Amino acid sequence: MPLARTYDAARGKVITTVHDDYRDRVARWSDIQEYLPFLHETARSYDKVRVLELGTRSGNSTMAFLAAAGIVDGHVTSVDLEQVTNPGNSMVLWKDCPYWTFIQGDDMNEAVQALLPPEVDVLFIDTSHEYGHTLQELHAYMPRVAPGGVALFHDTRNFGTWSEPGDTIPPVQRALDDYCSPEGLFWENLPGKYGLGVIRK
């Protein structure tokens, strides 16, 4: 989606397309920088991709998905507790993007869940990173992943501030282990500093 030449003061540059924004984010450090190309290529591999992103924050993962959706005529739905399209957040540039729906709210709220697509090709979870909450998300959202779809989970190698005393396994990784085993699923932990979990359905 082209824009008029828009100056992003926070980054000190002109952004004109989702691809410009995505390339800029790939070039700048963030805790998800190393995985942005993987997110982009994964979404781009589905015709008319349907992406559900839980946790948006500054929009780095969102832009990887939007850049892909723009190529394959797809759609991205994002949920976050914060209103990321407010002035001051760089995602305000894309608040009117026709292939992006942003919903502010708690992804475990039933009213929010009712607004989300019932079936998706790509599910991305990067929210609280707490064990209990992540496990709840797995039970609530894995059934929405279509056959042949993929679910992605950031921070599988990161203990962060959300770990509990005595944890020997990062909480996101532990939630994935505890969900996948009884479901007969296998998850892959991609290499990298922060980790990205992948479930292929």
pLDDT at position 8 over 80: no
Task: Provide the domain limits for residue 60.
Answer: 29-200
* Whole-number pLDDT of residue 13: 63
Contact 8, 14 (CB under 8 A): yes
**Residue 9 forms part of a structural domain:** no
Lowest mean pLDDT among 8-22, 122-136, 167-181: 8-22
Does some domain include residue 171?
yes
Q: Is residue 111 part of a domain?
A: yes
Residue 5 pLDDT more than 50? no
Domain-embedded: residue 19: no
Q: What is the CATH number of the domain that holds 103?
A: 3.40.50.150
Helices (H), 33-163: 36-44, 60-72, 110-114, 131-141
Structural domain includes residue 128? yes
Tell me whether residue 96 is in a domain: yes
Distance CA 159, CA 82 (A): 23
- How many Cα atoms occupy the beta-carbon half-sphere of 55 within 13 Å? 16
pTM for the whole structure: 0.92
Number of domains in the chain: 1
Q: Over range 15-29, report the average pLDDT.
A: 90
